[in-house]
Amino acid sequence: MTLKPYIFEPIRIMGYSRFKIKDFFPKLRETIRLFFYSLFKGNKILVAYSKKHNIFNTISKNNAKNITYIGPMFNLKENILTKFFFSKIDIIFEDGAIPYHFTINKPVIKYYEYYKKDPEKYVNKVITRSKFGKKNTKKDAEVIYPSIKIPKIEDKKKSKEINIFFSGSASYRKGVDILYEAFKRIKKKHLRYNLNLIMASVPFRIEAGNHAQNKKRMQEIYKECKKRKDTYFGPIYPNSLVHHFLRKTDIFVLPTRNDSFGFAILEAMSYSVPVITTNINAMPEIVQHNKNGFLINIKDYSLHERALNKKGFFEDAVDQLEKYLTILIENQELRIKMGGKSKNIIKEKFNIDKTKKRLKEIFEEVLEKN
> What is the CATH topology of the domain spanning 161-349?
Rossmann fold (3.40.50)
Angle between helices 80-87 and 24-39 (to 10 degrees): 80
Reported as a single tens digit per residue, the pLDDT across 63-97 is 888 899 998 888 777 788 888 888 889 999 988 77
- Tell me the pLDDT band of 208, cut-offs 50, 70 and 90: low
Mean residue pLDDT across the chain: 85
- Which residues in 71-213 belong to E strands, given as ranges? 91-94, 108-112, 123-128, 142-143, 161-167, 194-201
Given phi > 0 = left and psi -120 to 50 = alpha, else beta, which region is 293? left
Q: Greater confidence, 221 or 105?
A: 221
- Tell me the pLDDT band of 13, cut-offs 50, 70 and 90: very low
Reported as a single tens digit per residue, the pLDDT across 137-153 is 877 899 999 999 899 88
| pLDDT of 294 over the 50 cut | yes
Given phi > 0 = left and psi -120 to 50 = alpha, else beta, which region is 73? beta
> What is the CATH topology of the domain spanning 13-147+352-369?
Rossmann fold (3.40.50)
pLDDT of residue 103: 64
Distance separating alpha carbons of residues 82 and 101, to the nearest angstrom? 9
Mean pLDDT for the stretch of residues 85-114: 81
pLDDT of residue 315: 96
pLDDT of residue 256: 94
Q: Greater confidence, 47 or 103?
A: 47
- Tell me the pLDDT band of 27, cut-offs 50, 70 and 90: confident
Q: Is-contact 352 147, C-beta < 8 A?
A: yes
Q: Is-contact 165 200, C-beta < 8 A?
A: yes
| pLDDT of 102 over the 70 cut | no
- Tell me the pLDDT band of 19, cut-offs 50, 70 and 90: very low
**Domain residue spans of the chain:** 13-147+352-369, 161-349
Question: C-alpha distances in angstroms, 49 versus 57, 97, 109, 278?
Answer: 10, 11, 10, 31
Whole-structure pTM value: 0.86
Say which amino acid occupies 331: N
pLDDT of residue 195: 93
| pLDDT of 203 over the 60 cut | no
Mean pLDDT for the stretch of residues 161-165: 94
Q: Greater confidence, 177 or 171?
A: 177
pLDDT of residue 341: 97
Strand, helix or coil at 161?
A: strand
Q: Is-contact 109 124, C-beta < 8 A?
A: yes
- Which residues in the chain belong to E strands, given as ranges? 45-48, 67-70, 91-94, 108-112, 123-128, 142-143, 161-167, 194-201, 231-235, 251-254, 275-278, 293-296
The most confident of the ranges 33-47, 205-219, 332-346 is 332-346
CATH topology match: 13-147+352-369 vs 161-349: yes
